[in-house]
């Protein structure tokens, strides 16, 4: 593998150097290529992410974690699960260029974000609630990972990048490359990355067993121009991880494979009121297999195989229409079908194997329509109003699946749900320096297929086996947010408060008398609705630039949630503050950031099974330099993470598995 | 090459011919166990397969008049006999009744022990006044499907599982047969007791929810529902109550699928 990559580098580097000289505008393009995070709300957080997210070698997980309000649920050193303001799993939508895709693992080991790499991406758009950017009904918003497209008619016929990275902790290695061909009618971009890491060391140099991983990811995107305004796009991503350890869980992963494909047509007439019409068809499939064969015998009472698959196919068609320069109407029709299958076979010693379906062949078909209008009421007032409605039909597609649940639920298990999301967001520009904004939304989601049909799915957080409930009602919420933005001279400041007021909050209720299936599990819970719950919080960012080369920034987030029974909601990050001092000087950049998270004591051990978490404080250093040589730039980024080698974990790290100790990270990337 | 083909063709013909000869009940998936003639009748004993085991075994009898024609109104009785040399005893039976669907007399025998050096089983089939004894070999069931126990009421009971065609994951019909031993040769059915059934996977130590205790439906039958959450080895624990007091609370039968 390494040898091949070396050869590849040898082949592409001289080619890059021999390319005809261009003006530095192309370098700006390269920077845009590297720009990975963009937030839709267009507030201050935005600029921060843009700057921080410029290194394509950073993993998707670490990229997401830097976004204000986003926290990651960690089960190891791989495939972290994103949450937005504490909302997670079915409460947020994760799409790849608008494509619905769902992880295959019943233990949430493979969030969708684990199947894409920054190298595939142009931007990540983050939504904190319902707005016109989401591709489905949602409560807490979500992520849309927009794939990098090749450019037609680019200044350079060939462009690309190649890089290697190394981390002293976990002996992590990675190598990546991308190559783009740009013609007048046809353009194609290929990209690939390989990552491998051994067990990492927590603070204090203690090794975390079963935290290794290996993966590769490759992407291919092509554009063909049919005529002036019509283009055809094809995208394909394949991502394969293997030998992935999950120190916080009872099992590891033998392999996690995703194949993601789409074809789309775009009609983009400039200077017409209907200026964008995109239609996409897509298909993706995920194969996932857990593995306990490397664990010591005393940890494994029974060897088991737990494979799972997820298949989704769908389409969307999106229209953007501008009327009299004031109304920007977006209409989107989308539909998809997702099928989940997961099974478990246990092999007890001296007894017959035991087989069961843990996701008993569940499927969901969704059709939805979203219409929104962005209106410039005046030069000062902008309103975005929209309505989304979804029809979701959920069922079991095999006799074996129906038979499996016959002992758990009676009657017809098909469920049809009608959902609607409505939102109104406004911005008022008070003066040149200040802006106020506010939003209100009615949001709704149907229970996930796991929440409806799951069969003894083990949750490591509270130690219960979970059973789905086809009768669980839609979860709904009223979302409110309001904020101010101020920017004058050397100071930029932003503050925002938000609240999510839930009805029919979905949570697991203990089922006395049910015996757990998983060894060591405390019991069985079934998903059900709690009449209400509330989640509220605030985010504040302050940036000061006292002198041109110095930037001081402080980002602070806080959220708190309780349900109707006054139990603290789970997986809510405590107060967190990231403070950074950055210096940019003669092409060098240096930064140091101090990250502090408070204790989290607002937890419900009895109901949600969470334990309080300690606070932590870590300091990171980073330095970098871009060296340009004609057409080629070499980006060198060096980071020293957790310089004091603190032993720490965040509240959402499952089983309080500690995070990495001191780590020297070196990333070298050549762009051409 | 040609020779091989013609050989194969010939074999196929022969087998096809054999099949046809056995046609009638064999079409319904039955295996012919034995046949005898007497009293101007041909009596054939059939079963679902020829591997009899301790537990519930179905037997079928077809009775044909030697001058031709099926006899539908005969009185057919089964009497199993365990011959242990010094002593003989019988076991519970569901006496055959004519089933118009498959045109067979259909009954069942519950063998309580396997054939061994200790003794051997015979099945006495009586058709009207005619009797014939067929030796049968009973293997030990891999899983315990029948249990004989003495209750606190000093009565000896035989509890037997009537397995369905196929056990499956999810909710299954559970059918039990309960007889008492009145004498060595008399096993009348017992109705009206309360049976509580608790399934468990012994290798895992867990049970399953939503089971429905079997209730007495007459002729010694008790029917309920059992929920198997996965395939594998299950143990059904029973507590049996009579007039409100427990007569047996630690007996079990096993299921493997």
Higher local confidence (pLDDT), A4 or A27 = A4
For A203, the token pair is: 């603070």
B14 pLDDT higher than 60? no
Per-residue model confidence as pLDDT tens digits over A337-368:
999 999 999 999 888 999 999 999 999 999 99
pLDDT of residue A628: 87
Contacts of B69 (CB under 8 A, 6+ apart): none
A382 pLDDT higher than 50? yes
Chain A: closest CA distance from residue B228 (Å): 7
Contacts of B250 (CB under 8 A, 6+ apart): B237, B239
For A103, the token pair is: 């992880």
> Which among B169, B209, B233 has CB closest to A351?
B233
Does A514 contact B209 at a Cβ distance shorter than 8 Å? Answer: yes
For the segment B161-187, the average pLDDT, to the nearest whole number, is 95
Per-residue model confidence as pLDDT tens digits over A99-154:
999 999 999 999 999 999 999 988 888 888 888 778 889 999 999 999 999 999 99
Contact A119, A56 (CB under 8 A): yes
**Residue B196 and residue B241: Cα distance in Å, rounded?**
8
Same fold, B24-139 and B146-256: yes
Per-residue model confidence as pLDDT tens digits over A61-113:
998 888 888 999 999 999 999 999 999 999 999 999 999 999 999 999 999 99
Strand pairing category for B41-47 and B55-65: antiparallel
**Residue A168 and residue A153: Cα distance in Å, rounded?**
41
Residue carrying the six token digits 């519950």: B110
Could you tell me which residues are beta bridge partners of residue A142? A93, A127
pLDDT of residue B24: 58
A52 pLDDT higher than 60? no
Buried b / exposed e along A173-196 (16+ C-beta atoms within 10 A)? bbbbbbbbbbeeeebbbbbbbbbb
Work out the angle at residue A115's Cα, subtended by the Cα atoms of residues A113 and A119, and round it to the nearest 5 degrees.
Answer: 90
Does B201 contact A357 at a Cβ distance shorter than 8 Å? Answer: no
Residue A171 DSSP label: G
Q: How far is CA A534 from the centre of its chain?
A: 23
Per-residue model confidence as pLDDT tens digits over B228-239:
999 999 999 999
Taking Cα atoms as reference points, which of A497, A472, A609 lies closest to residue A556? A497
A383 pLDDT higher than 70? yes
Q: Locate the chain A residue with the closest alpha carbon to B228.
A: A407
Taking Cα atoms as reference points, which of A6, A55, A77 lies closest to residue A666? A55
Work out the angle at residue B218's Cα, subtended by the Cα atoms of residues B214 and B219, and round it to the nearest 5 degrees.
Answer: 115
Report domain extents, chain B.
24-139, 146-256
pLDDT of residue A36: 41
pLDDT of residue A50: 41
Residue A56 DSSP label: T
Which residues of A are less than 8 Å from B256 in CB distance?
352
Work out the angle at residue A408's Cα, subtended by the Cα atoms of residues A402 and A413, and round it to the nearest 5 degrees.
Answer: 45
pLDDT of residue A54: 55
Does B232 contact A354 at a Cβ distance shorter than 8 Å? Answer: yes
Q: pLDDT-derived band of residue B61, with 50, 70 and 90 as boundaries? A: very high
Residue carrying the six token digits 């749900």: A417
Contacts of A181 (CB under 8 A, 6+ apart): A150, A157, A158, A187, A188, A189
CATH for A2-671 is 2.40.170.20
Per-residue model confidence as pLDDT tens digits over A13-38:
333 333 333 222 222 222 222 334 43
Please write down the long-range contacts of B19-28, taking CB distance under 8 Å and 24 or more positions apart: B24/B62, B24/B103, B25/B60, B25/B62, B25/B102, B25/B103, B25/B104, B28/B102, B28/B104
Strand pairing category for B52-53 and B138-139: parallel
Could you tell me which residues are beta bridge partners of residue B246? B241
Chain B: closest CA distance from residue A455 (Å): 9
Report domain extents, chain A.
2-671
**Residue A135 and residue A207: Cα distance in Å, rounded?**
41
Higher local confidence (pLDDT), B78 or A17 = B78
Does B169 contact A403 at a Cβ distance shorter than 8 Å? Answer: yes
For B241, the token pair is: 């109550």
Chain A: closest CA distance from residue B254 (Å): 13
Per-residue model confidence as pLDDT tens digits over A183-239:
999 999 999 999 999 999 999 999 999 999 999 999 999 999 999 999 999 999 999
Work out the angle at residue B151's Cα, subtended by the Cα atoms of residues B148 and B156, and round it to the nearest 5 degrees.
Answer: 45
Candidates B203, B234, B237, B255: best to mutate against A (most CBs of A within 10 A) is B203
Per-residue model confidence as pLDDT tens digits over A425-483:
999 999 999 999 999 999 999 999 999 999 999 999 899 999 999 999 999 999 999 99
For A353, the token pair is: 């194997």
For A671, the token pair is: 């762009």
B17 pLDDT higher than 60? no
| Assembly ipTM | 0.84
Count helices and strands (H / E) in chain A.
6, 33
For A318, the token pair is: 């999106």
Does A404 contact B209 at a Cβ distance shorter than 8 Å? Answer: no
Assess B251–A contact: CB distance below 8 Å, yes or no: no
pLDDT of residue A4: 42
Does B168 contact A403 at a Cβ distance shorter than 8 Å? Answer: yes
- In CATH terms, the superfamily for domain B146-256 is Immunoglobulins (2.60.40.10)
Which residues of B are less than 8 Å from A400 in CB distance?
169
Which residues of B are less than 8 Å from A407 in CB distance?
169-171, 208-210, 227-229
Burial of B118 (0-12, 13-18, 19+ CB in 10 A): exposed
CATH for B24-139 is 2.60.40.10
**Residue B11 and residue B22: Cα distance in Å, rounded?**
17
Q: pLDDT-derived band of residue A416, with 50, 70 and 90 as boundaries? A: very high
Does A517 contact B203 at a Cβ distance shorter than 8 Å? Answer: no
């Amino acid at each position: 593998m390494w040898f091949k990559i070396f050869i590849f580098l040898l082949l592409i580097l001289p080619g890059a150097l021999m390319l005809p000289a261009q003006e530095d505008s192309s370098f700006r393009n390269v920077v845009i290529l590297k720009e990975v995070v963009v937030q839709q709300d267009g507030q201050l957080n935005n600029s921060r992410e843009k700057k921080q997210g410029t290194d394509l070698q950073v993993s998707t997980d670490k990229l997401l974690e830097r976004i204000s309000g986003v926290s990651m649920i960690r089960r190891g050193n791989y495939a972290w699960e994103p949450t937005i303001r504490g909302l997670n799993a079915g409460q947020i939508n994760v799409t790849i260029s608008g494509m619905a895709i769902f992880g295959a693992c019943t233990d949430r080991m493979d969030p969708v974000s684990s199947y894409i790499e920054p190298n595939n991406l142009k931007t990540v758009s983050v939504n904190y609630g319902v707005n016109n950017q989401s591709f489905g009904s949602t409560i807490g918003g979500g992520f849309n990972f927009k794939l990098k497209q090749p450019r037609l008619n680019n200044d350079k016929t060939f462009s690309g990048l190649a890089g290697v990275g190394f981390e002293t902790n976990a002996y992590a290695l990675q190598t990546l490359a991308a190559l783009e061909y740009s013609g007048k009618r046809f353009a194609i971009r290929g990209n690939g990355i390989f990552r491998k890491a051994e067990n990492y060391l927590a603070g204090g140099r203690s090794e975390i067993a079963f935290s290794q991983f290996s993966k590769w990811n490759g992407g291919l995107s092509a554009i063909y121009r049919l005529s002036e305004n019509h283009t055809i796009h094809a995208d394909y991503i394949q991502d394969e991880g293997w030998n992935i350890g999950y120190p916080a869980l009872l099992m590891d992963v033998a392999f996690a494979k995703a194949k993601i494909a789409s074809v789309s047509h775009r009609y983009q007439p400039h200077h017409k009121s209907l200026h964008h019409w995109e239609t996409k068809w897509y298909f993706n499939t995920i194969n996932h297999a857990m593995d306990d064969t490397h664990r010591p015998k005393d940890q494994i009472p029974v060897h088991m195989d737990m494979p799972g698959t997820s298949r989704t196919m769908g389409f969307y068609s999106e229209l953007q229409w501008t009327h009299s320069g004031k109304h920007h109407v977006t209409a989107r029709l989308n539909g998809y079908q997702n099928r989940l299958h997961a099974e478990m076979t246990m092999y007890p010693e001296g007894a017959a194997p035991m087989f069961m379906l843990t996701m008993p062949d569940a499927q969901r078909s969704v059709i939805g329509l979203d219409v929104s209008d962005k209106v410039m009421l005046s030069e000062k007032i902008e309103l975005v109003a929209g309505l989304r409605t979804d029809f979701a039909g959920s069922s079991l597609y095999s006799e074996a699946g129906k038979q499996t649940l016959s002992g758990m639920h009676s009657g017809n298990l098909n469920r049809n749900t009608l959902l609607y999301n409505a939102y109104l967001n406004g911005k008022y520009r008070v003066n040149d320096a200040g802006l106020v904004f506010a939003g209100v939304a009615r949001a709704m989601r149907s229970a996930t297929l796991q929440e409806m049909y799951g069969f003894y799915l083990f949750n490591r957080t509270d130690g219960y086996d979970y059973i789905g409930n086809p009768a669980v009602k839609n979860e709904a919420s009223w979302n409110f947010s309001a904020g101010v933005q101020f920017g004058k001279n050397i100071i930029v400041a932003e503050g925002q408060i938000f609240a999510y007021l839930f009805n029919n909050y979905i949570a697991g209720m203990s089922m006395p008398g049910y015996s757990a299936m998983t060894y060591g599990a405390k019991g069985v819970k079934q998903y059900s609705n709690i009449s209400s719950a509330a989640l509220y919080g605030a985010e504040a960012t302050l940036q000061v630039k006292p002198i041109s080369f110095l930037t001081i920034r402080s980002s602070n987030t806080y959220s708190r949630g309780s349900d109707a029974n006054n139990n603290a909601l789970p997986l809510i990050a405590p107060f967190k503050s990231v403070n950074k001092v950055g210096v940019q000087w003669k092409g060098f950049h240096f930064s140091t950031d101090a990250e502090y998270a408070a204790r989290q004591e607002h937890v419900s051990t009895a109901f949600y099974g969470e334990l309080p978490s300690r606070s932590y404080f870590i300091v990171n250093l980073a330095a970098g330099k871009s060296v340009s040589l004609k057409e080629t730039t070499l980006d060198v980024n060096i980071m020293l993470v957790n310089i004091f080698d603190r032993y720490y974990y965040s509240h959402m790290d499952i089983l309080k598995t500690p995070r990495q100790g001191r780590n020297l990270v070196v990333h070298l990337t050549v762009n051409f | 090459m040609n020779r091989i083909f013609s050989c194969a063709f010939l074999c196929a013909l022969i087998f096809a011919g054999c099949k046809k000869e056995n046609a009638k009940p064999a079409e319904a998936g039955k295996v012919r166990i034995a046949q005898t003639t007497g009293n101007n009748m041909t009596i054939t004993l059939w079963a679902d397969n020829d591997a009899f085991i301790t537990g519930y075994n179905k037997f079928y009898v077809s009775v044909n008049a030697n001058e031709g024609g099926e006899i539908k109104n005969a009185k057919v009785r089964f009497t199993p006999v365990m011959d242990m040399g010094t002593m003989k005893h019988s076991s519970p039976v569901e006496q055959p009744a004519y089933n118009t669907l498959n045109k067979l007399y259909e009954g069942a025998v519950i063998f309580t022990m396997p054939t061994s050096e200790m003794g051997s089983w015979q099945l006495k089939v009586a058709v009207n006044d005619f009797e014939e004894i067929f030796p049968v070999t009973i293997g030990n069931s891999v899983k315990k499907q029948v249990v004989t126990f003495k209750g606190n009421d000093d009565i000896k009971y035989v509890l037997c599982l009537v397995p369905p065609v196929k056990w499956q994951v999810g909710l299954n019909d559970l059918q039990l047969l309960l007889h008492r031993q009145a004498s060595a040769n008399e096993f009348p059915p017992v109705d009206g007791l309360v049976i509580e059934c608790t399934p468990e996977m012994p290798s895992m130590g867990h049970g399953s929810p939503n089971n429905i205790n079997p209730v007495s439906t007459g002729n010694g039958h008790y029917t309920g529902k059992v929920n198997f959450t996965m395939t594998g080895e299950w143990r059904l624990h029973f507590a049996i109550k009579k007039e409100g007091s427990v007569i047996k609370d630690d007996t079990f039968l096993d299921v493997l699928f």
